[in-house]
Structure 1
Amino acid sequence: MAALVKCLIVLCAAVAASGYGLGDMDVVFHLFHRGSPSVSEPLLPTANSIMQSSFSPFRPTVITIHNSGENVSGNFNAFVVPAHLTAQDVNLIAVDWSAGSGMYTQGLANAVQCGERIASFINLITNIANYGPENYRIVGVGLGGHIAGIAAERVIAGTIAHIVAIDPSFFGWTHNPNILSADKASKVEVLHATAGVLGYDHPLGHLDFYPNGGTYQTSCGADASCSHILGYAFYAESLTSEGGSQFVATACDSYEEAVAQTCSGEKGVVFGGIEDKTGQSGIYWFQTNFVPPFAQG
């Protein structure tokens, strides 16, 4: 097994170095808002397209980035888009880069280019609407978690307010210079749902959460795909749990404590939601229910 994992890592690194190339129309931006929560408004990366759209500089903006093998109408956005629009009146821009991410290795090779396209789009909005990066939250899953950081560090007019990386990918990222890190945004929040299996294992952000130990989720057994999906199901629930249970986490002294579920620190930091998390940092663990609602706090 160790040899297989090593071969996969080498293969991913080699493919990433070779690159596939994204065409001009291979990254598409879809705008949702409360006035149109289920039918998107495609945006071109041009001033005319943005100025003639329903994008509002008076709303905060959430950008979502799907994983390889998905598209804008996939499972991730089916959970996250309606949850965000329920929680807050936002411009919700769902990035569709499925033309360049059908296979994992293809998506890995195109991750930097995708991040650059997203950054250029954010920079364009800044130039035409005087709308700064402090108004953005970028939410990515799998490869999208790392792409969120790639995009954020290429924004030229300031610092992105918040990145939420849900089960950011493992293979091809251990020695990757573009890996997600805490310096990519004012607040980088990471949920590890399949740590060391599909998702990255060690802490990457200001806040790293390991639900149920972070490797496999309680109601999934040893099914990593199921656990990966539950990662964004937890996030979606966190956005709509106002007045209900929250994912209240316990502080851990180390990554090893988090995966062993032996944390005994202070309890009170909450995963997800829309609240400001200025000043919060650390490694955290929480348990979930087997079925929705998953939060126990």
Structure 2
Amino acid sequence: MRHNARVVADLLANLIDRLVGENEMDLSHTHVVGFSMGGRISGMVGQRIKTGTLGRITALDPSFPFLHPVDNAEQLDSSDADLVVILRTSVVSYFNPKGHVDFSPNGGIVQPGCDIWFYPSPVQQGCSHFRAVTLALEATQLGGRGVFPSCGCEDWESFVNASCPCSDTSNFYLTSYDGPSGHFFLHTNEDPPYTLPLRP
């Protein structure tokens, strides 16, 4: 799929432009969601739209550009939509620039239940990578804004050590977002339901 990423992005951007031009679709209410390579393609779609700016992109553990030739301008970032929300669950998304709102469950590298000691690193990372999808599904199924409460901190260590004031809090969900921007950290369970209350 990575060899066709630019083609897919061009086709989707053209489709959205046609829907705007012919059906008066409101770009400000258009939300593109993508996982892994799809998360990065979502950013490329936002860059290629000619009729305006996407309202929101939600990227679930988006991958970093690996296409040849590598074009860092194609990486997902906050310029690709009015609101870019990134859920980071593995090293796959580690090198991507920040969005407007970033959520890093359990530090965003290895997820609980994926960290079994006899799992080799690729298995742990694959498990953690796909956790982004299950977290998004749970956020959708539960449907409320009270799911996946998160604390705005500078980094994971500050969150774990309770050395950040947690003055900004947010929740990860896929409906319209009216929370603060920034980088948010949270704990989850290793099995569903994954959502947990914020630890004091």
TM range (shorter): 0.7 to 0.9
Query: Within the alignment, does 1:246 sit opposite 2:140 as a pair?
Result: no
Distance in 2, Cα, partners of 1:244 & 1:132: 24
Match in the other structure for 1:122: 16
What is the aligned counterpart of 2:87 among 187, 191, 200?
A: 191
Mind listing any 5+ residue stretches in structure 2 that lack a counterpart? 116-120
1:235 touches 1:273 (CA, 8 Å); kept in 2?
A: yes
What TM-score does the superposition give when structure 1 sets the normalisation length? 0.57
Distance in 1, Cα, partners of 2:81 & 2:46: 7
How big is each residue's C-alpha offset from its partner over 1:195-253, in whole Å with a ceiling of 9 and x where there is no partner? 3xx33345420011110010010111151111111111101111122359510111112
Q: CA RMSD in A?
A: 2.2
Distance in 2, Cα, partners of 1:228 & 1:273: 18
Write out the 4+ residue segments of structure 1 that deviate beyond 4 Å after TM superposition. Answer: none
Residue 268 of structure 1: how far off its partner (Å): 2.3
Match in the other structure for 2:62: 168
- In structure 2, do the counterparts of structure 1 residues 245 and 187 end up closer, same or farther at CA, with 3 Å as the change threshold? closer
Match in the other structure for 2:134: 233
Residue 156 of structure 1: how far off its partner (Å): 1.9
2:168 touches 2:180 (CA, 8 Å); kept in 1?
A: no
Residue 164 of structure 1: how far off its partner (Å): 0.3
Query: Within the alignment, does 1:179 sit opposite 2:82 as a pair?
Result: no
What is the aligned counterpart of 1:155 among 41, 44, 49?
A: 49
What is the aligned counterpart of 1:141 among 25, 30, 35?
A: 35
Query: Within the alignment, does 1:289 sit opposite 2:189 as a pair?
Result: yes
| Residue identity opposite 2:127 in structure 1 | C
- In structure 2, do the counterparts of structure 1 residues 188 and 212 end up closer, same or farther at CA, with 3 Å as the change threshold? same
| Residue identity opposite 2:84 in structure 1 | V
Query: Within the alignment, does 1:258 sit opposite 2:156 as a pair?
Result: yes
1:212 touches 1:261 (CA, 8 Å); kept in 2?
A: no
Distance in 2, Cα, partners of 1:248 & 1:146: 25
Query: Within the alignment, does 1:280 sit opposite 2:180 as a pair?
Result: yes
Distance in 1, Cα, partners of 2:136 & 2:157: 19
- In structure 2, do the counterparts of structure 1 residues 259 and 128 end up closer, same or farther at CA, with 3 Å as the change threshold? farther
Q: Quick one: percent identity of the two aligned structures?
A: 28
For the pair shown, which has the larger CA radius of gyration, 1 or 2? 1
Mind listing any 5+ residue stretches in structure 1 that lack a counterpart? 1-100, 102-106
> Larger % of strand: which?
1
